[in-house]
Amino acid sequence: MLQDNIRLGLTFDDVLLLPARSSVMPKGTDLSTRLTAGIKLNIPLVSAAMDTVTEATLAIAMAREGGLGIIHRAMTPREQAQEVARVKKHESGVITDPLTISPDEKLSDAVALLARRGVSSAVVVSSGRLVGLLTNRDLRFLKDLGKKVSTAMTTKLVTARPGTTLEQAERLLQEHRIEKLPLVGRNGELKGLITVRDILNRRQYPDACKDKAGRLRVGAAIGAGDEAVERAAELVKAGADLISLDSAHGHSANVLRTLKEVRRFGVEVIAGNVATFEGARDLIRAGADAIKVGIGPGSICTTRIVSGVGVPQLTAVRDCVRAAKGKVPVIADGGIKFSGDVTKALAAGADCVMLGTLLAGTEEAPGDIILYHGRSYKAYRGMGSVGAMEAGSKDRYGQSGVEKDKLVPEGIEGQVPYKGPVSAIVHQLTGGLRAGLGYCGCRNLAELRRKARFVRISGAGLKESHVHDVRVTKETPNYALND
């Protein structure tokens, strides 16, 4: 049936937020939010599950800043689980399963083990009991590596009981000038390890997103179908804090069925992508812990042009927020070009935003730096591009089993300028968001969602909003139009 009343769809460039009377200073604003009912973020930023954006290194950086990274799935389930494990083991309040070695092992084997695991020490145990500690310092000047570990390990150790707080551990580490504090039970059995590195990281990154054990939080993406359920099981076993059920069309029977199956693992599940009230409603009814919104808004996505389907992102977010009714968090995925877009997405009702382009050029993103015409770039591609499909994302676009020359891509491959560390990007994005809160007279994101008022603007209004009638002679870190 021909539709008579065609709605107007709006995106971020179509609106501005109205300034309001304010006594709020940007530095005093609170950016904390919820990703799911059980996972709190200290900043409303999540990195996209794309193979040129999020692997363990970037996920670690995001969690340290107070956000979260979602490991992409363009790899084997085992490889993805290893990426998850890297994040979970990178920092700990208490290391419950420290690397151990027998006192009867050869020193050469110990050296190889430390190198393979990328750590500087191992706890020496015999029959489960602590007998020593072997560090790189103990091995530094040894020439005969054929001897046993027991000949080189440190045996005079300062220990503590399980249940020791990090504050108590810090005092012991400082008092005895040591870097490792083993936790032992009444009979000398090893129960855990606290390191000075973890305590220093706690000081350096006070807003880090961590689980109850003091480990950095991380998510991981899966597709839809039987393989996805098996992948989810392996990711949960590796310690993933949440699973992101990732599909170009989240309002499909296969996604709804997979969502119900993955729920049985007892882990938080984000589901998407959708762009309508009905899509969000059905995912929520199927048990989604958060809804991911966005059909085609990404800079490298061609879904709307290739298929003719999509909803401008601001309208999509507002419709899905209405379906969520404040009970299930909404994630605005895609279309974020500037920090002001983050403010607009959150004002429209989103609980956080997912970033791809803005993080793709960072130091921590996968891939090497590319020099082109005297400038540094990094590769960035959509998961609907031919290259990404060949790497494992075909099922996301309903093209499993399709040969390369028959693929119908919904994304492109390109480059983005190298941007330096993630921390610098996060600083600019959160700084812009704080400024937006100040202009709107809002102390936190809940107030922004409640109080914000939009005004629609014309093409001339958008042109006026950007830099105009001047030649830029010095770039700023948070504004660029044509890179």
* DSSP states along 335-367: ---SHHHHHHHHHTT-SEEEESHHHHTBTTSSS
Under the banding of pLDDT at 50, 70 and 90, the label for residue 475 is confident
Within a domain: 407: yes
The larger pLDDT score, comparing residue 222 to residue 4, is at: 222
Shared domain check, 84 and 132 = no
Shared domain check, 156 and 105 = yes
The mean per-residue pLDDT over the stretch 42-62 comes to 98
Under the banding of pLDDT at 50, 70 and 90, the label for residue 384 is confident
What is the pLDDT at residue 282?
A: 98
Query: In 3D, which of 49, 51, 81, 47 has the Cα closest to residue 388?
Result: 51
| 442 among known catalytic residues | no
Shared domain check, 158 and 245 = no
The length of the chain is 483
Within a domain: 480: no
Within a domain: 470: no
Shared domain check, 348 and 220 = yes
- pLDDT digit string, tens, across residues 203-223: 899 999 999 888 999 999 999
Shared domain check, 239 and 364 = yes
| 434 among known catalytic residues | no
Which of the residue ranges 54-58, 61-65, 116-120, 429-433 would you say has the lowest mean pLDDT?
116-120
What is the pLDDT at residue 404?
A: 74
From 318, 396, 434, 449, the catalytic residue: 396
137, 172, 201 - which closes a domain: 201
What is the pLDDT at residue 479?
A: 93
pTM: predicted TM-score of the whole model, two decimal places: 0.89
Within a domain: 7: no
In the chain, the percentage of residues whose pLDDT exceeds 90 is: 71
Q: Where are the beta strands (DSSP E) in 168-230?
A: 180-184, 190-195, 219-222
**CATH number for the domain harbouring residue 338:** 3.20.20.70
Range of the domain at 429: 12-91+208-465
Within a domain: 318: yes
From 215, 263, 301, 320, the catalytic residue: 301
The answer on pLDDT for 483 being more than 60 is: no
Shared domain check, 232 and 195 = no
Within a domain: 397: yes
The answer on pLDDT for 2 being more than 70 is: no
Shared domain check, 72 and 140 = no
359-392 in b/e burial notation, b at 16+ Cβ within 10 A? bbbbbbbbbeeeeeeeeebbbbbbbbbbbbbebb
**CATH number for the domain harbouring residue 133:** 3.10.580.10
Within a domain: 478: no
> Which helix H or strand E contains 229, and what residues bound it?
helix 226-238
Query: In 3D, which of 353, 258, 323, 361 has the Cα closest to residue 43?
Result: 353
- pLDDT digit string, tens, across residues 180-197: 999 999 888 999 898 888
Which of the given ranges, 189-203, 312-326, 374-388, has the highest pLDDT on average? 312-326
- pLDDT digit string, tens, across residues 341-374: 999 999 999 999 999 999 999 999 998 999 999 9
Instruction: Give the whole-angstrom CA distance, residue 265 versus residue 256.
Output: 16
Q: Taken in order 264, 266, 272, 274, is the CA torsion positive or negative?
A: positive
The mean per-residue pLDDT over the stretch 264-268 comes to 95
The larger pLDDT score, comparing residue 245 to residue 170, is at: 245
What is the pLDDT at residue 482?
A: 64
Mean pLDDT (the chain) is 93
| Domains: count for the chain | 2
What is the pLDDT at residue 270?
A: 98
Shared domain check, 415 and 312 = yes
Within a domain: 6: no
The mean per-residue pLDDT over the stretch 98-112 comes to 90
| Cis amide bond preceding 273, omega within 30 | yes
Burial class (CB in 10 A: 0-12, 13-18, 19+), 397: buried
> Which helix H or strand E contains 122, and what residues bound it?
strand 121-126
